[in-house]
Amino acid sequence: MAKKLIEKLIEDASYMNLNYIELNSTKEGYELYNKLGFKEIKTNYVPMKYDFNNK
């Protein structure tokens, strides 16, 4: 089911003439996205969050 949803997302994005789709993958989803053509990118950004529950 996940594969079909991502394929539909890619189809719709192409129809809308988007330049790219960017996502953050879990370890579990990595292989699926890779098989569908997503490529790992290098970035200068570091994921961060502020958690009010764990100060």
Query: Is the pTM here over 0.85, yes or no?
Result: no
Rounded Cα–Cα distance for residues 33 and 38 (Å): 5
Q: Per the structure block, which two tokens stand in for 20?
A: 């790219």
Q: Specify whether the CB–CB gap between 21 and 5 falls below 8 A.
A: no
Q: Is the pLDDT of residue 54 over 90?
A: no
| Per-residue model confidence as pLDDT tens digits over 1-26 | 999 999 999 999 999 999 999 999 99
Q: Is the pLDDT of residue 48 over 80?
A: yes
Please tell me the predicted confidence (pLDDT) of residue 47: 86
Residue showing tokens 């996205």: 33
Residue showing tokens 């790219």: 20
